[in-house]
Structure 1
Amino acid sequence: MTTVSGTAVDESPRHQHADPGESPVRRWHGVATAAGVCVLVALLAQLPLLRNRLFYFWDDSAAQFVPMWHALGKRILSGEFPLMLDLHSWVGGNLVAEAMFGTWNPVNLANYVLVALIPDLGVGAAVVKSEYLVLLALGLYLLCREYGASTWLSAAVAVALPFGGFTLFFDASTWAAGLMSSAWVPFVWWSARRMARGRSTAWLPFVFGYLAVTAGNPYGLLAVCVVLLGLLVEFWVGRDRRAVRHLLGLGAMVGGVALLVFLPLLNNGAVAARQGKDLYNVGQLVPSVNDLLASSMPSYVPTIRSFAPGSIRMTVPTTYFVWFALPLLAWLDWRVLRARWRTLLAVFVFSGCYLVAALGPSNLWMFRWPLRLVQDAYFGLGVLLAVLLTAGLRTDHLRRRILVTVGVLAGSGYLAFSAWPKIAVRHAVALALLTVLTAAAVFAARRGARWLTAVLGVGTVAVLALQLAWFPANRDVTDYSFPTSTHDLRQQFGDRYQGTTFQVAELSLANRVGAERSWRHLLFGNMYRAAGVDAVTSYTGIGDRHFAGPLCLDFVGATCAKAYPRLWEPTEAGGAPLADLMRLRTVVVQRALIDAPEVPAGWSVAERDDVVTVLRRDGQDRFPDGRLGWVSAGSTVTADTAVGQREERVRFERGPHATGPTRLAFARLDWPGYQAEVDGVSVPVRSGPAGLVEVEVPERLRSGELTLHWAPPGLPLGLLGALLGALGAVGLSWWQYRQRRRTGGDAVSVTPSEPGTLGGREHRRL
């Protein structure tokens, strides 16, 4: 049997101890190749924009992420540090509990500033997401090299994986938080394994672990845990107890950071409207084995239930892996895996865990839609593919290999046709392209890894171009088609909708009228934040059920017709209506929902057109710098000032004939963590009407200064955990450095192979 562009693998103890190092020429070659990967991925990331200018400003990226990035960036540029609370976002303003914005992550914050400096949200989204696609590719390249794949073939796999179906059409296009966390996972894996082998200290994997976890997506934390589990298995089987201890220590350090990020989310579960902590299966976004068997077919659209009512299939190739994985199966030298199974155990564990979980129930605690897990499985499978390609393509038993390849291609084509017969022409084109590319790859491999890499890269570009021509947008999620110019948004809405604004509108009715017409008067999600409007109706990942329930607010800020009369109904706060307690100054009513809203006393119609009626409060607020909405009869407020987002000070005094406690209601949601005191004496805080903050001052306190302060519950413990994790990383790094100096650099693990041990151009018989 022969191999092409490959060498046999030596797993002898002598080879395992070998550490020849890399020459400067090879080192610079690796750096240049990594730079080339980054440049190529950055260029390919712009291809989606040729057919769809809003490709990266889609669904949740448009409604939730990008406009809030812009608003947070503006706050940072103005000198604020928006880590925890954004009162102007109301139900979506508990940033530390929302977690998804990753406000403890310095890279995130830098990108928010960048988006704030770019005058177009669509362009800002494309820049940031291109950056993370490049980071993902670079991390995958380093990871493939860490497991011994050659420079060229590591590059081929690293360029292809960021444009896999789910990564491109979901994480990059819509669910930005997933991309921003998963991009760091290969770096965590690469650096943690290097640390376990004694090639680096604990500080590097801790930093990457910090970035992955503080990105705020629980799937990022899950991936870090599975990576560490796989490495623990690998080095435990390799009987390297030192590496196992260091990996356990690293896990504890990153776990401390997880407390900082996710404790506030868990501690807000009592008030959260979108809890999703159940275990069930409704089949939504649940892939099947067939979807994996056709994962190299560019036109395959999986028969997975998506978000559209009555959907039977998706509209984009979400389970696509890389074009060359299945067609080249028959040509790979599988003996490599048998020879190196111990050194690849972490890859097997990681991919195996994710493949099993991807076929699981649709909802498991805070983890929904197992289709999300397919891309992580592909990361591990990509590493295996790079290792196998490095070992060379086998050309013995030629007829048998050709027949198997024909069977694989025919099977993939049949599965694609069965899933969506209507696009049979696309399936035929895709099948013809795969046939040509597979033949070219087999012939190119005879001339060496560079030629094979060139064919793999050309095929990646061709398949990507074809998929974007066929599937220019993800129609499985919402196309809001929001305007993107922040200058135009501020001009359109900034002066019209003044002060705290409440919008009564249904999204479905706005879509019925048409985006171009509706978005001149209405916005949903966090788009009002980019327009400079302090809108109550914002996007939220968790919500506040006490507030959202009475006003029938959904997660994107849409309401029902019942919300309007509830604004004016008397509440238990002395009969004051919610509109007063919330300090509303503008109410925007969709005419398709309520054609002629009744105008309450103290309000006037400021604008009326064919889409909306805009009501504005008469007069001015007495204390414009505070958020006090109501004080009980018999008490007088002389000053009210908000100190930042998390603190407010109110000076009050009681009349001589006042009886009972003094009650004060604030235009703040009663998120867990509020405390109040009057001149150093603690006073109770409770939820008032619609979940607003209400403070009750005992009758004995006749006057004084009330200080209302909010801090997320669990914050001290989270900060302590993160600090101890950082100190642990410094301490372990110092100890590792001392050990390496003491042993002269010989404390290198004998279990894994060094990078480059599978490369070579010579032909050898096995």
Structure 2
Amino acid sequence: MSLLHDGATAVDPDRAPEATRGDRGGLVWPLATCALVALLALVPLINNRIFYYWDDSAAQFLPTWHHLGTLIRDGQWPPLLDVDAWMGGNYAAEALFGIYNPLYVANYVLVSLLPDLAVSALLVKAQFMVLLALGTYLVARDYGAARWASSAVAVALPFSGFTLYFDTAGWASGLMSFSMVPLLWWAARRMADGRMNPFWVFLVGALIVTGGNPYGVLGICIVLVGLMVENLVRGRRAVLVRLVLVGLCVGAVVPLVFFALLGSSSVTWRSGQGIWNDGMLVPGLGDLLNLSAPTYLPQISNWQATMHSPVAYFAWFVVPLVPWLRWGVLRDRWRELAGVGVVVVAYLLLTLSPSQLWMFRWPLRLIESVYLGLAVLVAVVLSEGLRTDRARARAVASGALLLFSAYLSWAGTPQHRNWHLVALVVVAALTALAVRAARRGTAALAIGLHLGTAAVLLLQTTAFVGNFNVNPYYYPHSVQVLRDSFAGYQGATMQFADRRAVDRLGRGPDGAWEHVLFGTAYRAAGVNAVNTYTGMGFKDFSETFCMSFIGESCEAGYRNLWQPRDDRGTTLAEMMRLDTVVVERGLLDEVPAPPGWRVRERDDAVTVLAREEPHAWPDGRLGAVSPGVEVLSDTSPEETAEAVRFRVTDDAEPARLTFARLNWPGYTALVDGREVPVTTGPAGLLQVDLPEGVDEGELTLEWTPPGFTAGLALGAAGLVGALVLALFGRRWKRQGGR
């Protein structure tokens, strides 16, 4: 059937969602869509083999996933706290690692079994790219789009600019949460129409929430509100109850994931959340209008002078085909599509919002969600076919749009003029082929659109091989190479280095990473490092060592490590129970060995100090005691608990115990069953003053995330509520959309 026509709207037999019922052919398009996305996910690797092992993925996500997978395989689930990871070890409060999410947990176990982190990155991220495409396809189909049109937009979305270059390449948590939102949209809409049991909506929603990314929770809210508006304008008010009830059940899971984050914020960098605008990653409306220009680099404020990747790009065919599409369908079906409009408008406003809105910062992150709603609208309009009347005028209009997009691309970055010219020629040729292919029918047009997506993806990843607005790091990705390189860093290890110092040594990335790593990369190397990546930090600790989110430190921090901190002259190095200290020579060139330490290694890159004597109390994490306190035993059977048997031999001074633990909110201390205060000592270490009059006894420490018990109870209530709603599912199915 030709898709070029100028008469009444043609009926495409594969357009209605009901056509898939009992139709085996209905599985071909979604399966082919998923397979194509998985195949195209390999294209960026042609020019950059570490495309997916980039920025936060290399510094935080992949090594942490590897470590979490190892912990889970050892029976530690959920891994709420890793004391040895210090600022980056409060996984419950960090939230974004999804420690309660079974899909995430399964992937962490997979990563821990694989020998190469770059390969792991590809396998995990390709899964979620496929999920994103499948969800987009299903939503578009549910709004009546044809299979081929739904497939075209579904394949394009995972390779849109921000999704590919930021979320997929580096900010993995964003991809993983975003990929589930279309599935929730599809399931919730079908539930509202009585075509799906509400329990499945709860399940998908709970997976989004337990992923730990607040943008996923925002997506749930916007989608459900959009569906409420859609059903209101269609006169189906009774359906609103279903949406509200299932939304409440999903919302009941939120405290389990986010109470720990909010309850811990007082000791972290993120204690203050407000509204302000410094322009950081705030796109302009014009950037979104140029969404089909493959080489357009918007002038958005970021960490560098300009953008180095096409973050505002969506799909090559949207703008060029504008003159050929039958836009009247949106007017004719506006009530049915009202929910899509709400999603687009809501996300558009948030994308153009201030740079900080409470927990949400850098609104460029939301551009992909605008494109999700736009993808559904484009699929619906595209399904109506292309027009043939006034073909010459339409061709001129397409050409003018392409030339204008090319001009804007050149005006923004004239230094890339050759690539802008190539992009203009390629997209113009693809547009002409698409119009011609439409004469042959849906299959030809679908093939043309998909081939165009593949061609543009290859062009983009050749012109812009990676997102150099963030840090590639170039860490080794072989787990064995990492372990062999740092096998000499034994026990609790603390590093003092910064990336600028590495640069001052004139060592290339490969040479530098033979001696120092940043972020959480040491975890994959098997090094028990204090330095870890954290999005939250711990103010007292970071200020003492001037330690950044990625584990960089400074000269003053090193000197603070050796300052006496109590009446016995105990240093922080001893209180923290350190075994190895690595000092990058670009930061401090000559480092003498402090008393009780020796220089294990010194070369032109680092000085490695090693502790000479074993630690007291080897079975626990007690770091220091005040004079007059005798420790009979100290055991730490798990990360969240510790028990110290003690005897007080001198009542002249307060009896104080200092632990090699950060005083995260959530600790409870008991002396012989009686609760005693927990205080914050030097560098944020946990301290307990024993009560007066107690000569002997046992101190026990227990840690649970703030709000954990309430979160479990509310989450269980949400699950029970969803099961109750599931019982009504059949009745709703009989009632349909009434």
TM-score range, shorter chain: over 0.9
- Contact kept? 2:6, 2:389, Cα under 8 Å: no
What is aligned with 1:626? 620
Q: Note the C-alpha offset of 1:83.
A: 3.0
Structure 1 residues 117-175: Cα deviation after superposition (integer angstroms, max 9, x where no partner): 11111111111011111111111111111111111111111111100000100000000
Aligned mates of 1:6, 1:231 — CA distance in 2: 33
Q: Secondary structure at the match of 1:708?
A: strand
Q: Note the C-alpha offset of 1:101.
A: 0.6
- Contact kept? 2:71, 2:79, Cα under 8 Å: no
Q: Secondary structure at the match of 1:598?
A: coil
Q: Note the C-alpha offset of 1:280.
A: 1.8
CA distance change for structure 1 residues 574 and 238 in 2, over 3 Å: closer, same or farther?
farther
Q: Note the C-alpha offset of 1:675.
A: 0.3
Q: How does 1:706-725 map to 2 (within 5 A)?
A: 706-725=699-718
Q: How does 1:40-439 map to 2 (within 5 A)?
A: 40-275=36-271, 277-308=273-304, 311=305, 313-439=306-432
Q: Secondary structure at the match of 2:196?
A: coil
Aligned mates of 1:82, 1:560 — CA distance in 2: 34
What is aligned with 2:735? 747
Aligned mates of 1:432, 1:718 — CA distance in 2: 56
Letter in 2 for 1:486: V
Q: Note the C-alpha offset of 1:402.
A: 2.1
CA distance change for structure 1 residues 208 and 349 in 2, over 3 Å: closer, same or farther?
same
- Contact kept? 1:159, 1:457, Cα under 8 Å: yes
Aligned mates of 1:172, 1:584 — CA distance in 2: 36
What is aligned with 1:643? 637
Structure 1 residues 237-269: Cα deviation after superposition (integer angstroms, max 9, x where no partner): 222122101111121111111111111111111
What is aligned with 1:763? none
Task: State whether structure 2 residue 491 is matched by structure 1 residue 499.
Answer: yes
Task: State whether structure 2 residue 471 is matched by structure 1 residue 478.
Answer: yes
What is aligned with 1:588? 582
What is aligned with 1:758? none
Letter in 1 for 2:500: S
Which TM-score applies when normalising by structure 2?
0.97
What is aligned with 1:756? none
5+ residue gaps, structure 2: none
Pairwise CA RMSD: 1.8
Structure 1 residues 311-331: Cα deviation after superposition (integer angstroms, max 9, x where no partner): 1x2001011000000001111
Q: Which of 490, 501, 504 is matched with 1:509 structurally?
A: 501
CA distance change for structure 1 residues 635 and 8 in 2, over 3 Å: closer, same or farther?
farther
- Contact kept? 2:94, 2:536, Cα under 8 Å: yes
Q: Secondary structure at the match of 2:705?
A: coil
Aligned mates of 1:611, 1:487 — CA distance in 2: 22
Tell which deviates more after alignment, 506-515 or 96-105.
Answer: 506-515
Task: State whether structure 2 residue 563 is matched by structure 1 residue 575.
Answer: no
Aligned mates of 1:568, 1:355 — CA distance in 2: 52
Q: Secondary structure at the match of 1:4?
A: coil
- Contact kept? 1:6, 1:391, Cα under 8 Å: no
Q: Note the C-alpha offset of 1:6.
A: 9.8
Q: Secondary structure at the match of 1:392?
A: coil
Letter in 1 for 2:262: L
Aligned mates of 2:241, 2:598 — CA distance in 1: 69
CA distance change for structure 1 residues 503 and 123 in 2, over 3 Å: closer, same or farther?
same
Aligned mates of 2:32, 2:7 — CA distance in 1: 26
Aligned mates of 2:234, 2:274 — CA distance in 1: 39
Aligned mates of 2:719, 2:8 — CA distance in 1: 43
Task: State whether structure 2 residue 530 is matched by structure 1 residue 542.
Answer: no
Letter in 2 for 1:563: G
Q: How many residues align?
A: 731
What is aligned with 1:445? 438
What is aligned with 1:531? 525
Higher relative contact order (CA closer than 8 Å, sequence separation 6+): 1
- Contact kept? 2:81, 2:92, Cα under 8 Å: yes
Which TM-score applies when normalising by structure 1?
0.93
Letter in 1 for 2:70: K
- Contact kept? 2:19, 2:26, Cα under 8 Å: no
